[in-house]
Amino acid sequence: QAQVTESGGGLVQIGESLRLSCVASGRTPNTYTWAWFRQAPGKEREFVARLVSSGITDYADSVKGRFTISTGTTRNTMYLQMNTVKPEDAAVYYCALAIGQTTAVTGRQITRYESWGQGTQVTVSS
């Protein structure tokens, strides 16, 4: 089972951009789903975006058109480009990795993912 580690969180101003990174160590499956979830204080962890090894991407409505999920030159690295950041984007962001491909339903389920990072804080300022 791969271990994943996020980085790139920090303070960002409203309307600005931030890029989060996630790296998997250990064995990365040939078919997989990468995902980002986030959790704001007092709220449940929610789906943000996913990327399937087939190339399919999927976004929460709240970030569609502003965030982009992608992989690096290898499948071990994954990014979340956050543009036009809003106050409601402030949260702890978690990257997750699942073995195998997911559907639009299963890919949004926390329980589908075997590997989770520790989270990286994104703070939005005015």
> How much is the pLDDT for 72?
87
> How much is the pLDDT for 26?
81
> How much is the pLDDT for 56?
96
What is the β-pairing status of strands 18-25 and 3-7?
Answer: antiparallel
Please give the distance of CA 22 from its chain centroid, rounded to a whole number.
8
Token pair in block for residue 74: 């290898």
pLDDT of the chain, 126 residues: tens digit per residue? 789 999 999 999 999 999 999 999 987 788 999 999 999 999 999 999 999 999 999 999 999 999 999 998 888 999 999 999 999 999 999 999 999 999 999 999 999 999 999 999 999 998
> How much is the pLDDT for 50?
98
